[in-house]
């Protein structure tokens, strides 16, 4: 299937138009026309090969909302015209214990990334959602529930599930006390989702300047991490802290804020860390954990939850040819809170 999109051609050049082929439909494949695609920090890291696993040309994009245009003969869950979505992965072994538990993101053989991956059958490089069409096996296709605003839903597929999964794993609900570090694409979703689950939510920020934004997103309060007195008062005040800061930073200031058995979960790839004191870990049986995206079942649960509760990311819609400018702005955190590409703007 011929298609076209925008690709990075090397580590430094701006993204540019790219014509390429999607695979011929297999029995269990769904083909979709992409309507919207969110812009994730990982897209930029991959375009620049910051993590060392890129190939070129590479088409980024793993917050994909589309409409089914064709299905393979064995597809049972979707039909032409359905609104669907694809997130950060397009395949896994489907046979290991993790896949059987619905945690394909933790597949023993490794999940296949929507981009920067290799197709499990053909070995061909996968290409993401900055494109007109996508072909995916139906098990990795999500259903967009009726009532969910398609134009704002795309960031749920990465930013949303990446924060939803730890909230669910640590059983956050009414009475839970949740802290969120960082108020970008992931952080703003962590706040909205934790509030939606009924938790008491604080945003942790270095400066008080984010207070109005935090409260507007539904947080109960802002805790200023440079304010020593406020931080001392907040000792043992959280059950879960979701750390969404995408660059290297110290964890030490935050660990004493966890209650006994509390967890600080890192959801971004931040590379090697500075030394962290183990004293607060021991004295409070506290944990530092990591969490990557979430499983397919959990992602569907998130989409259904957001439709029911009318929880949506705050998006800024852009045209496909504005992507390079969007990358520049994203690097300066100049977006509230996620760019979404309107794929109708992508002309052949």
Stretch that binds Zn ion, among 27-35, 45-53, 107-115, 188-196 (CB under 5 A): 107-115
| 115 vs 170, beta carbon nearer Zn ion | 115
Residue 301 in tokens: 């649960």
Interaction between residue 112 and Zn ion (CB under 5 A):
no
Asked whether position 69 contacts Zn ion by CB under 5 A, the answer is no
Of 314, 336, 307, 348, the C-alpha closest to 83 is 307
**Are the C-beta atoms of residues 177 and 239 closer than 8 Å to each other?**
yes
User: How far is residue 60 from each of residues 18, 29, 42, 213, measured CA to CA in Å?
Assistant: 12, 21, 8, 29
- My answer on whether omega of the bond before 57 falls inside 30° of 0, hence cis, is yes
Taking contact as CB under 5 A, which single stretch among the options 155-163, 204-212, 219-227, 320-328 is the one that binds Zn ion?
Answer: 155-163
Q: CA–CA separation, 242 vs 239, rounded Å?
A: 10
Nearer to Zn ion, 177 or 338 (CB): 338
Q: Shortest gap between Cβ of 113 and Zn ion (angstroms)? A: 10
Q: Which is nearer to Zn ion, 42 or 176 (CB)?
A: 42
112-113 vs 200-205, strand pairing mode: unpaired
Question: Contacts with Zn ion in 72-101 (CB under 5 A)?
Answer: 92-93, 96, 99
Where are the strands (E) in 206-248, listed by range? Answer: 221-224, 238-243
At 211 the three-state DSSP class reads: helix
Size of the site for Zn ion (CB under 5 A): 8
Site string (264-283) toward Zn ion, x via CB under 5 A? --------------------
Q: Which stretch binds Zn ion (CB under 5 A): 49-57, 117-125, 153-161, 300-308?
A: 153-161
Nearest distance from C-beta of residue 309 to Zn ion, angstroms: 22
DSSP 236: T
Instruction: Compare residues 92 and 176 and give the one whose CB is closer to Zn ion.
Output: 92
Question: Which region among 105-113, 129-137, 266-274, 300-308 touches Zn ion (by CB under 5 A)?
Answer: 105-113
Site string for Zn ion, 158-187 (x = CB under 5 A): x-----------------------------
Beta carbon nearer to Zn ion, 99 or 241: 99
Residue among 99 and 195 whose Cβ is closer to Zn ion: 99
Least Å distance between CB 43 and Zn ion? 7
- Residues of span 297-336 touching Zn ion by CB under 5 A: none
End-to-end CA distance of the chain: 14
**Is 1 a binder of Zn ion (CB under 5 A)?**
no
Q: Name the residue nearer to Zn ion (CB basis): 96 or 118.
A: 96
Q: Tell me which of 107, 191, 258, 312 binds Zn ion, using CB under 5 A.
A: 107
d(CA 155, CA 35): 13
Element (H, E) at 299: helix 296-309
Site string for Zn ion, 30-49 (x = CB under 5 A): ----------x-x-------
216, containing H or E segment: helix 211-216
Strand ranges (DSSP E) for the chain?
Answer: 2-7, 16-21, 29-38, 64-71, 83-86, 89-91, 112-113, 133-137, 142-143, 177-181, 200-205, 221-224, 238-243, 258-266, 287-290, 315-319, 338-342
- Ranges assigned E (strand) in 155-286: 177-181, 200-205, 221-224, 238-243, 258-266
The residues that touch Zn ion, with contacts defined as CB under 5 A, are 40, 42, 92-93, 96, 99, 107, 158
């Amino acid at each position: 299937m011929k298609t076209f999109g925008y690709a990075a051609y090397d580590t430094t050049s701006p993204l540019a138009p790219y014509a390429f082929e999607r695979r011929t439909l297999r029995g269990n494949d769904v083909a979709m026309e992409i309507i919207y695609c969110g812009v994730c920090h990982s897209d930029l890291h991959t375009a620049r090969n910051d993590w060392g696993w890129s190939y070129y040309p590479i088409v980024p994009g793993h917050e994909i909302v589309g409409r089914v245009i064709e299905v393979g003969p064995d597809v049972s869950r979707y039909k032409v015209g359905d609104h669907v979505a694809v997130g950060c992965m397009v395949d896994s072994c489907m046979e290991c214990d993790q896949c059987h538990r619905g945690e394909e993101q933790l597949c023993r053989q490794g999940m296949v990334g929507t981009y920067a991956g290799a197709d499990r059958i053909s070995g061909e490089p996968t290409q993401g959602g900055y494109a007109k069409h996508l072909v995916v096996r139906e098990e990795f296709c999500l259903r967009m529930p009726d009532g969910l605003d398609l134009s704002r839903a795309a960031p749920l597929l990465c930013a949303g599930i990446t924060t939803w999964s730890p909230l669910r794993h640590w059983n956050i609900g009414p009475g839970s006390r949740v802290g969120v570090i960082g108020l970008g694409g992931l952080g703003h979703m962590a706040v909205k989702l934790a509030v939606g689950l009924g938790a008491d939510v604080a945003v942790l920020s270095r400066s008080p300047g984010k207070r109005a934004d935090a409260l507007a997103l539904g947080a109960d309060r802002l805790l200023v991490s440079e304010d020593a007195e406020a931080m001392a008062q907040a000792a043992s005040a959280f059950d879960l802290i979701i750390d969404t800061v995408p660059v290297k930073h110290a964890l030490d200031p935050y660990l004493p804020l966890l209650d006994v058995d509390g967890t600080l979960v890192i959801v971004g790839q931040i590379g090697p860390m500075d030394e962290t004191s183990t004293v607060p870990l021991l004295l409070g049986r506290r944990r530092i954990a990591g969490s990557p995206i979430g499983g397919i079942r959990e992602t569907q649960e998130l989409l259904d939850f957001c439709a029911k509760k009318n929880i949506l990311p705050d998006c800024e819609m852009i045209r496909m040819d504005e992507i390079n400018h969007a990358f520049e702005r994203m690097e300066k955190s100049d977006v509230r809170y996620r760019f979404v590409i309107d794929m109708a703007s992508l002309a052949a």
